[in-house]
C-alpha cells in the first residue's frame, strides 16, 4: 500500500538579482539625500542578512558620494522576546566607532512584526546614545506587532500571515533574489 505525501509548493519568485540591485541603489541614493552630514552616518547590519546588505549600501554610498560611512554589525540574540534566542547561532556585534550623537541606520532584509528591530534598537542603545536611529529594509511584508516603520524600504510585499518572504543574497545563498515561501513550507525569515 502506497501512501501519497503531498508535495510542498515551491517558493514563488518575487524579485530577481537585477531588482535587488536597483532597490539597493535607490536606498543608497535616499540615504545620501536624507542625511546631508554623511560623516555622522553609520550603517549597522542586523545579523544575518542585514550585514552583507549594509556592506553593499556602504559601498554604494561611497561610490555616489565619495564618503565612506562607518559600518557595524549587531547580534540581537540576547534581546529577542520570541524564544528564538535559545536556538540561534551567536554572531559578533561589531561597532568599532562611537555611536553617541550619530545617525545609525539599522539594515535588515525583511520587516515583519517589528520584534527584530526592537531587539536591535535595545542592543544598539546599550552601547551608546545615537542622535537618531533609522531603518532600511529590502522588503516590508506587513503584519506589525509593534509600532515600527522603515525609513527606507525597497519593496512593500503584502503577504498572508503564514507566508514568508525570504531574501536570498549571493554572500550567503549564492544568489540574489526575493521569494515568497507559501504557508506550511519550512523556511525562515
Instruction: Identify the domain containing residue 78 by its residue range.
Output: 17-161
Query: Is position 179 within any domain?
Result: no
Query: Is position 177 within any domain?
Result: no
Distance CA 46, CA 135 (A): 11
Q: What is the pLDDT of residue 173?
A: 97
Distance CA 164, CA 186 (A): 9
45: domain CATH number is: 3.40.50.2020
Query: Is position 184 within any domain?
Result: no
Query: Is position 139 within any domain?
Result: yes
Count Cβ atoms below 10 Å from residue 1 Cβ, excluding itself: 2
Distance CA 151, CA 159 (A): 20
Q: What are the helix and strand counts (H, E) for the chain?
A: 4, 8
Query: Is position 122 within any domain?
Result: yes
Query: Is position 130 within any domain?
Result: yes
Q: Domain count of the chain?
A: 1
Query: Is position 38 within any domain?
Result: yes
114: cell is: 517589528
* Predicted confidence (pLDDT) per residue in 18-35, tens digit: 999 999 999 999 999 999
* Predicted confidence (pLDDT) per residue in 130-186, tens digit: 999 999 999 999 999 999 999 999 999 999 999 999 999 999 999 999 999 998 765
Query: Is position 3 within any domain?
Result: no
Q: Phi and psi dihedrals of 3, rounded to 5?
A: -100, 130
Q: What is the pLDDT of residue 85?
A: 47
Q: For residues 110 and 153, is the Cβ–Cβ distance under 8 A?
A: no
Helix H or strand E segment including 46: strand 41-46
Classify each residue of 78-111 as buried b or exposed e, where b means 16 or more C-beta atoms within 10 Å of its C-beta.
ebbeeeeeeeeeeeebebeeebeebbbbbbbbbb
Amino acid at each position: 500500500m502506497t501512501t501519497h505525501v503531498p508535495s510542498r509548493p515551491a517558493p514563488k519568485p518575487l524579485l530577481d538579482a537585477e531588482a535587488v540591485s536597483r532597490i539597493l541603489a535607490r536606498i543608497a541614493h535616499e540615504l545620501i539625500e536624507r542625511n546631508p552630514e554623511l560623516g555622522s552616518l553609520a550603517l549597522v547590519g542586523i545579523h544575518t542578512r542585514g550585514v552583507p546588505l549594509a556592506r553593499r549600501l556602504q559601498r554604494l554610498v561611497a561610490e555616489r558620494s565619495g564618503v565612506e560611512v562607518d559600518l557595524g554589525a549587531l547580534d540581537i540574540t540576547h534581546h529577542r522576546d520570541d524564544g528564538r534566542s535559545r536556538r540561534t547561532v551567536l554572531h559578533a556585534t561589531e561597532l568599532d566607532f562611537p555611536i553617541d550623537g550619530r545617525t545609525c541606520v539599522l539594515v535588515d532584509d525583511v520587516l515583519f512584526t517589528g520584534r527584530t528591530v526592537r531587539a536591535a534598537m535595545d542592543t544598539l542603545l546599550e552601547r551608546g546614545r545615537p542622535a537618531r536611529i533609522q531603518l532600511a529594509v529590502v522588503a516590508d511584508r506587513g503584519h506589525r506587532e509593534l509600532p515600527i516603520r522603515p525609513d527606507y524600504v525597497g519593496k512593500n510585499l503584502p503577504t498572508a500571515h503564514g507566508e514568508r518572504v525570504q531574501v536570498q543574497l549571493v554572500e550567503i545563498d549564492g544568489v540574489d533574489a526575493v521569494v515568497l515561501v507559501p504557508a506550511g513550507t519550512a523556511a525562515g525569515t
